């Protein structure tokens, strides 16, 4: 992709020391709008702030920045290193330091084969990580209850439109607004989400009498998978089960494309019974008990999307980019959602710093960022259906995108 030159963020000469540290030189600062106050958006804002960009604003659609029920998240070493550089020590976000994954084959509710694997990272939770990130945002950076509805190029500059009728100019817009991204709908509308044919049922159970220390992955039979791991205060479990669109609508009150995250109030008694019945029939007794004792549950329909072909869009004399799940939501089996977002945010900060501090051509810097990170995003999107097929999960989608 050939990116047109940007005049709004014109460069000044390279700084004399040649090392990007401390405040940026005194020159016009770009106005950077980050849309989305979840993990990727907050990480991007903090990285930019640390790099010396002082006109960064985060717009979050939710009324307040509070935990929203996110579960277990695996962070690989590059993402952990980025968080280290933000001053987030692993002890703050990692309650259980095990790197061990036990992959267990189950037949007739009994373990028949166990393989041990080592995860190149650590597990955290959405709540722990989001709390650590938002606690470090400077006062006034995060604006909640600010839902973006449009983006136009007025007077040569990107202009964000909000539900309350107000607008805000920016020189650069970072859309990190999740898998139902408004930014993706505006910039890349030909890549809608489509239901993959199965559901990730989730719950948080009390700590069992025999504590769990590692991540367990149970595969009872084709068409299901059960993962469980220790988290603060108990166990986080995910039970993947096939589900038709009709059944999903019946159990959760809306089609999967409309209800892409079923909160506890959306989980019907029928959905509870469905999961309990499968736990009783398929899981070893101790894991079935974990499911049965979980009263508050959520569910996420697993979705697919065509791989992205770009990450950067010129908007007038400015730019807009897609990051993380806004760019390419992946199936949870890949464990790449948060990792992609954090790594992309770190790479983007480097590109912007080289432009602003050292006079690097911005179009070339953004193109280089895209060339480095787009292949990993595409690979993660394509990997999800392959994992699902191996497990006998999904298969409703008849369209297989080309690599």
**Helix, strand or coil, per DSSP, at residue 264:** helix
Closest CA relative to residue 330, chosen from 388, 244, 267: 388
State the Cα–Cα distance between residues 258 and 314, nearest whole angstrom: 30
CA–CA gap between residue 348 and residue 284 (Å, rounded) = 46
pLDDT for the residue numbered 15:
31
pTM given for the model:
0.90
Rounded CA-CA distance 103/223 in Å is 16
Are the C-beta atoms of residues 6 and 318 closer than 8 Å to each other?
yes
Residues 215 and 120: their CA atoms lie apart, in Å, by 13
What are 210-214's contacts with CB under 8 Å, separation 24+?
A: 210/286, 213/96, 213/98, 213/100, 214/98, 214/100, 214/101, 214/102
Distance CA 235, CA 38 (A): 23
> What is the C-alpha to C-alpha distance for residues 297 and 304, in angstroms, rounded to an integer?
23
pLDDT value of position 69: 52
Residue 26, pLDDT score: 53
Through-space distance between the first and last CA atoms of the chain, rounded to whole angstroms:
17
Pairing verdict, β 318-322 and 312-315? antiparallel
Residue that has been written with the tokens 């050292």 in this structure: 358
Q: Which one, of 283, 158, 278, lies nearest residue 216 by Cα?
A: 283
| CA–CA distance, 183 with 318 (Å, rounded to integer) | 15
Measured CA to CA, the distance from residue 33 to residue 255 in angstroms comes to 32
The domains found in the chain, sorted by start residue, are 32-61+146-192+306-391 (3.50.50.60), 96-123+195-304 (3.30.9.60)
Tell me if residue 199 falls in helix, strand or coil.
strand
Write the DSSP assignment of 342-398 as a string of letters: HHHHHHHHHHHHHHHHH---HHHHHHHHHHHHHHHHHHHHHHHHHHHHHHT------
Residue the block writes with tokens 């061990």? 100
pLDDT for residue 211: 87
**Cα–Cα dist 28/30, whole Å:** 7
Q: What b/e readout covers 322-348, taking b as 16+ CB neighbours within 10 angstroms?
A: bbbbbbbbbbbbbbbbbbbbbbbbbbb
In eight-state DSSP terms, residue 284 is -
Distances (CA, A) of 227 to 165, 183, 366: 44, 32, 38
Residue ranges with strand state E in 282-342: 297-304, 312-315, 318-322
Per-residue model confidence (pLDDT) at position 332: 95
pLDDT 10s digit of each residue in the chain, 403 long?
A: 444 333 333 333 333 333 334 556 655 789 999 999 999 999 999 999 999 999 999 999 998 754 455 689 999 999 999 999 999 999 999 999 999 999 999 999 999 999 999 999 999 999 999 999 999 999 999 999 999 999 998 778 899 999 999 999 999 999 999 999 999 999 999 999 999 999 999 999 998 888 899 999 999 999 999 999 999 999 999 999 999 999 999 999 999 999 999 999 999 999 999 999 999 999 999 999 999 999 999 999 999 999 999 999 999 999 999 999 999 999 999 999 999 999 999 999 999 999 999 999 999 999 999 999 999 999 999 999 999 999 999 975 433 333 3
């Amino acid at each position: 992709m050939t990116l047109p030159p940007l005049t709004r963020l014109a460069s000044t000469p390279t700084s004399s020391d040649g090392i990007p540290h401390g405040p940026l030189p005194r020159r016009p600062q770009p106005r950077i709008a980050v849309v989305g106050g979840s993990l990727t958006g907050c990480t991007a804002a903090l990285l930019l702030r640390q790099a010396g960009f002082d006109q960064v604003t985060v717009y979050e659609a939710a009324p307040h920045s509070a935990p929203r029920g996110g579960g277990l998240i695996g962070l690989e070493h590059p993402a952990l290193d980025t968080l280290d550089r933000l001053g987030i020590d692993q002890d703050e976000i990692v309650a259980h330091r095990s790197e061990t994954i036990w992959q267990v084959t189950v037949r007739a509710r009994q373990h028949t084969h166990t393989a041990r694997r080592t995860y190149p990272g650590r597990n955290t939770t959405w709540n722990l990580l989001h709390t650590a990130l938002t606690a470090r945002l400077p006062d006034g950076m995060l604006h909640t209850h600010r839902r973006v509805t449009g983006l136009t190029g007025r007077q040569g500059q990107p202009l964000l439109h909000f539900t309350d009728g107000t607008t805000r100019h920016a020189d650069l817009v970072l859309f990190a607004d999740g898998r139902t991204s408004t930014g993706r709908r505006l910039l890349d509308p030909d890549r809608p989400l489509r239901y993959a044919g199965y559901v990730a049922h989730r719950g948080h159970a009390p700590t069992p009498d025999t504590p769990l220390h590692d991540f367990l992955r149970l595969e009872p039979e084709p068409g299901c998978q059960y993962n469980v791991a220790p988290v603060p205060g108990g166990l986080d479990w995910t039970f993947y089960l096939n589900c038709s669109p009709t059944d999903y609508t019946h159990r959760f009150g809306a089609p999967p494309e409309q209800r892409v995250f079923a909160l506890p109030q959306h989980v019907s008694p029928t959905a509870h019974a469905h999961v309990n019945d499968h736990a009783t029939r398929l899981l070893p007794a101790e894991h079935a008990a974990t499911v049965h004792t979980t009263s508050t549950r959520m569910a996420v329909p697993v979705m697919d999307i065509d791989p992205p072909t770009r990450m950067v869009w010129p908007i007038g004399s400015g730019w807009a980019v897609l990051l993380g799940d806004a760019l390419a939501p992946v199936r949870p089996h890949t464990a790449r959602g948060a990792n992609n977002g954090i790594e992309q945010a770190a790479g983007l900060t480097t590109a912007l710093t080289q432009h602003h501090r050292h006079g690097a051509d911005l179009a070339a810097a953004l193109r280089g960022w895209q060339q480095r990170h787009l292949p990993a995003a595409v690979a993660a999107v394509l990997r999800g259906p392959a994992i699902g097929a191996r497990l006998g999960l999904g298969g409703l989608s008849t369209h297989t995108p080309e690599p």
